[in-house]
Amino acid sequence: MPDIKILTEVELRALVPLDMNAITCIEQGFAALAGGKVIMPPILTLMVPDHNGEVCVKTAYLPDVESFAIKMSPGFFDNPKLGLPSTSGLLVLFSSTTGVLEALLLDNGYLTDVRTAAAGAVAAQHLAREDATRACVIGAGVQARMQLKALTLVRPIASAVIWARDAGKADATATSLRAELGIDVTVSTDIESAVRLADIVVTTTPSDRPLVMGDWLQPGQHITAMGSDQEHKVELDPTCLAKATRYVPDSQAQCAIKGELRSALEVRVFGPDRAFSDLGDIVSGIAQGRASEIDITIADLTGTGVQDTAIATLARQRADATGTGTTFTS
């Protein structure tokens, strides 16, 4: 059998930092998705309700990409009470030509964190105003940190406000981000005010009830909602989508089941046959993104298998180029 490469989280963190190269990698993945030749099955989800957990399995085949990834991604949202991270997991790479196992990426969810934050940056790059300087981040976990960092790579963010149910965690996150990013990051206990005053709002929670209301949204704002990725989750009140000038899903088929679009369809904000341009359509120039300075834009990011194949392939290519990882024969 061919050799199989194993890459650890430590190695993957060194190989694939959250930078413009990672953002470009994910942007190219979205563009490929818009091309119509990507094969991406529905997400397989295992719910573990007794422990507030879920496991998602995602994959996608991209023509002209030498490998495809299958990702297993657990999210157990009571883990912080046990001193454990909420997310973990791994990716497995197979040859697109032979189906032979090529690599095990033991990332513990790190590559998912990178590709998710990179998707937020892609959305902001194409939908947020170019002069956006004020960010509001809802949540105080890993994605709150990474989404803000990603934003600073594509927009001139000068200040940010963090809101979270856990004020202590919000304060710790703000302190860490101030030191890392060198910008003014503060904590707000007033979510409405924090949203109203922002140019870009990013929601990063596993909430099962709306956190952001439609009448809070202001002309010119961009909102990225990335926490709702299961049927029971929702961060935006459906009135947000009703108020938006342009609503952009990462995959309409997925968002209609697992994203913010689901709850909007349930209350008939949109008819069941309403078609939207996916983010990949905008990235590839098939559809227009922001049309004016006063547009309110919303990106609904549920996370796609194409992102996983793209980031995993990038990691393996860099590992091969640098001789990183451990190789064995099964």
Higher pLDDT pick, 64 / 223:
223
- Picking from 318, 309, 319, 282, the residue whose alpha carbon sits closest to that of residue 297 is 282
Percent with pLDDT over 70 in the chain: 100
Query: Could you give the CA distance from residue 146 to residue 129 in angstroms, rounded to a whole number?
Result: 20
Most confident of 76-80, 84-88, 127-131: 127-131
Of 78-92, 124-138, 167-181, 203-217, the range with the lowest mean pLDDT is 78-92
Most distant CA pair in the chain, distance: 60
Other C-beta atoms lying within 10 Å of the C-beta of residue 176: 13
Q: Flag whether pLDDT at 155 surpasses 80.
A: yes
List pLDDT tens digits, range 232-254. 889 999 999 999 999 999 999 99
| DSSP tag of 41 | P
Q: Flag whether pLDDT at 98 surpasses 80.
A: yes
The two three-digit tokens of residue 136, written as one number: 């509001």
CA distances from 308 to 46, 68, 70, 81, 175 (A): 18, 9, 8, 28, 31
Mean pLDDT of the chain: 95
List pLDDT tens digits, range 310-320. 999 999 999 99
Strand 159-163 versus strand 134-138 pairing type: parallel
Q: Flag whether pLDDT at 329 surpasses 80.
A: yes
| DSSP tag of 103 | E
The two three-digit tokens of residue 65, written as one number: 């990409």
CA distances from 210 to 123, 238, 323 (A): 21, 8, 47
List pLDDT tens digits, range 174-198. 999 999 999 999 999 999 999 999 9
Task: Indicate the pTM of the whole model.
Answer: 0.94
Query: Could you give the CA distance from residue 154 to residue 305 in angstroms, rounded to a whole number?
Result: 23
What is the average per-residue pLDDT within 258-263? Answer: 93
The two three-digit tokens of residue 316, written as one number: 């393996």
| Residue 182 buriedness (CB in 10 A; 0-12 / 13-18 / 19+) | exposed
What is the average per-residue pLDDT within 119-136? Answer: 98
Q: Flag whether pLDDT at 200 surpasses 70.
A: yes
Q: Flag whether pLDDT at 330 surpasses 80.
A: no
Domains and CATH numbers, the chain: 3-112+306-329 (3.30.1780.10), 130-302 (3.40.50.720)
Which residue is associated with the tokens 């922002």?
198
Other C-beta atoms lying within 10 Å of the C-beta of residue 30: 26
List pLDDT tens digits, range 30-58. 999 998 899 999 999 999 999 999 999 99
Q: Is the dihedral of CA 80, 83, 89, 90 positive or negative?
A: positive
List pLDDT tens digits, range 292-306. 999 999 999 999 999
Phi, psi dihedrals of residue 55, rounded to the nearest 5°: -130, 125
What is the average per-residue pLDDT within 247-270? Answer: 94
What is the average per-residue pLDDT within 265-274? Answer: 90
Of 127-136, 178-187, 260-269, the range with the lowest mean pLDDT is 260-269
Query: Could you give the CA distance from residue 36 to residue 26 in angstroms, rounded to a whole number?
Result: 16
The two three-digit tokens of residue 154, written as one number: 């594509």
What's the confidence (pLDDT) of residue 1?
A: 65
Question: Is the separation of the CB atoms in 242 and 317 below 8 Å?
Answer: no
What's the confidence (pLDDT) of residue 262?
A: 94
Query: Could you give the CA distance from residue 278 to residue 231 in angstroms, rounded to a whole number?
Result: 20
Report the Cα–Cα distance between both ends of the chain, in Å, rounded.
7
